[in-house]
Amino acid sequence: MTLRAVIVDDEPVARRRLRTLLRAEPGVEVIGECEDGSAAIDMIRHLQPDLVFLDVQMPGLDGFDVIEALEVRELPAVVFVTAYDQYAVRAFDVHAADCLLKPFARARLRRAIEHVEAFSRGDRQPDLQAVGRAVQASRPLSRFLVKSAGRVYAVRADAVESIEAAGHYVELHAAGSTHLVRESIAVLERRLDSQRFVRIHRSAIVNVDRVRELQPMFHGEFVVLLPSGRRLRCSRTYAKELTEALGS
């Protein structure tokens, strides 16, 4: 069986080296390559490869964002490629196909291919969603993935001034625009940087770096003024947490 592979890396030299090494592997055929996460999502959906060599650190959408954006049925076997060993440890912990630590030797690449072949035979089963969840759990969100009109794009966390519940979605308010993300506000709160994002109401979270002013109201509540001119109510339940975060 020949594995149809895609290479995703933002460094041309890294892509070229990996492509050269794979030419010596009769069980692998490279059918495409790209340099960023958005293009990777489109390419994987279009080409439906058996295997993707996926760089972890890329501008825009990173390797784990790519996994998060794809449906389970769309996921090929993934070999992560990274210069940071902490990602390798997490990938192995959740039984990813493999993780190559740059710079890697030909023998190490061959072993990764053997692992993928084992998955293809059914000897082992990767849990790619678990890989994404494990990394997300260990780091605060630095960006939000927004799926809209058949495309996926990223909104930087530091650009978001508030997050507000909207049924089964949350609204991200950033730079005068509103972005819908299908997630509950409670689940999202656990993934945010607690030093930056603070709950002010059961249906609202604010970025404390974006708070311009607090206006006292009755019974210990506040009106929170944001750069866009929007005004949100901070209930008494969350007032202490907000003022402490602003003071720190």
Q: What is the pLDDT of residue 183?
A: 84
Q: What is the pLDDT of residue 94?
A: 42
Q: Spelled out in words, what is the top-level CATH class assigned to the domain 142-247?
A: mainly beta
Q: What is the pLDDT of residue 87?
A: 56
* DSSP bridge pairs for 53: 7, 79
Q: What is the pLDDT of residue 8?
A: 97
Query: Domain coordinates of the chain in residue numbers?
Result: 3-137, 142-247
How would you classify residue 150: left for phi > 0, otherwise alpha for psi between -120 and 50, otherwise beta? left
Tens digit of pLDDT for each residue in 103-114?
A: 888 999 998 898
Q: Which residue has the higher pLDDT, 64 or 196?
A: 196
Q: What is the pLDDT of residue 91?
A: 52
In the predicted structure, residue 211 carries a pLDDT above the cut 90? yes
Q: Are 158 and 207 in contact (CB under 8 A)?
A: yes
Specify the CATH architecture of the domain 3-137.
3-Layer(aba) Sandwich (3.40)
Q: What is the pLDDT of residue 26?
A: 92
The mean predicted confidence, pLDDT, of the chain is: 85
Cis peptide before 59 (omega within 30 of 0): no
CA gap 138, 127 in Å, rounded: 17
DSSP 3-18: EEEEEE-S-HHHHHHH
What would the mean pLDDT of 25-35 be, rounded to a whole number?
A: 95
